[in-house]
Amino acid sequence: MSAWEPFTTDARHAMVRAQEVAVLFGGSSVGTEHVLFALADGDDPLAALLAGALDRDAIRQRLGAVSGAPGAELQFSDGAKRTVALAFANARRLGHNFIAPAHLALGALEAEPPPLAAEVSGAEVRSELEHLAHDEGGGEPGGTREEPAP
């Protein structure tokens, strides 16, 4: 079984996007800031939540300047590895047998608390992320959550 097998398609896409962001910003590894950037880069409720909650200027400082320089094969930083481990832990705690983007966001929030916008509390973000994770409860490993037929 692949380590990525429990990840939904959306969660896999987020991790690939995190790698792309790390390359774009000339990173030598994929960190939690790259994972958060990738999760906030979309038009879904999770992306909207993170885009509104994160202190974007502080995240940009962590990312550095765009270089686009190709680097060696990227490794995951300790923080990113911890993000994934905590995503698994949160999924188990919520009774899920898969990893969805909300689980990754919960993991990132615990692994290396990100800079948040001044008016946002970590507890509020965590609560909203848990709500989104519960909404993703119909997710399937390797797939996306299916909507009920009309």
- For 76-120, write each residue's pLDDT tens digit: 999 999 999 999 999 999 999 999 999 999 999 999 888 899 889
Cα angle 73, 8, 144; round to 5: 135
Non-local (6+) Cβ contacts of 97 within 8 A are: 6, 91, 141
pLDDT at position 27 is 82
Which residue ranges form the domains of the chain, and what is each CATH number? 9-138 (1.10.1780.10)
pTM attached to this predicted model: 0.84
Convert the pLDDT of each residue in 55-83 to its tens digit: 878 888 888 766 666 566 788 999 999 99
Picking from 29, 3, 95, 131, the residue whose alpha carbon sits closest to that of residue 11 is 3
Non-local (6+) Cβ contacts of 129 within 8 A are: 46, 49, 102, 105, 106, 109
